[in-house]
Amino acid sequence: MRILRVITNLNVMIGQLVSLLIWAGIVVLCFEVVARYGFGQPTLWAHGYTQRIFGSYFVLIGAYTLIRKDHVRVDIVLNAAGPRGRALLDLMNYLFLILWGVVLTREGWLFVLDAWQFNEMDDSALGHPMWPPKLALFLGSLLITLQGIVYAIEAIVTFFNPAATVEGPVQ
């Protein structure tokens, strides 16, 4: 089960690093507001960069959010079930997450390859390359899929042995 802990710890580390993107986004937004309303000189680049920063943040933080159990859940059903019932419901949820994640990861990788191969640029005045945000989509979906696999395995272990405890991340 060491590999499960490694994946979870990697996702915690990446999630904590990615959370710093919020500060970069805040700085860019504040700069744009001051430039636009304080000096009447809006920037050409701030809108595109804030989209990229916050878009990357939201897709890369998914696995960390899953670890912290901050995704929306219907706890009324889960709390009424016993340990095996919760494990079975969790397993079903994680299997759907894994299916979604595998498809999105594959498509995300194809998006990255196309953007790189064809030197795809966005339609902004600066013409930013599109492969970085598409790479963020690929990595974010890969990370949440791996974390879903970790939790699916934990749910299987709990289903067959409700007394078993699987080690959480090292914080």
| Mean pLDDT, all residues of the chain | 91
Question: Could you give the CA distance from residue 161 to residue 165 in angstroms, rounded to a whole number?
Answer: 9
Q: How far is CA 112 from its chain centroid?
A: 17
Helix, strand, coil content of the chain in percent (nearest 5): 75, 0, 25
pLDDT for position 171: 46
- pLDDT score recorded for residue 61: 96
Can you give the pLDDT at residue 44? 87
Nearest to 4 by CA among 155, 163, 161, 159: 155
Longest C-alpha distance within the chain, in Å? 65
Residue 169 has pLDDT above 60, yes or no: no
Kindly report, residue by residue over 66-95, the tens digit of the pLDDT.
999 988 877 777 778 888 999 999 999 999
> What pLDDT sits at residue 165?
64
Model pLDDT, residue 47:
86
What ranges in 19-123 are assigned the alpha helix state H?
A: 21-33, 46-60, 62-67, 75-80, 83-117
pLDDT in tens, 36-63: 999 999 998 888 889 899 999 999 999 9
- Poorest-pLDDT segment among 24-28, 64-68, 96-100, 166-170: 166-170
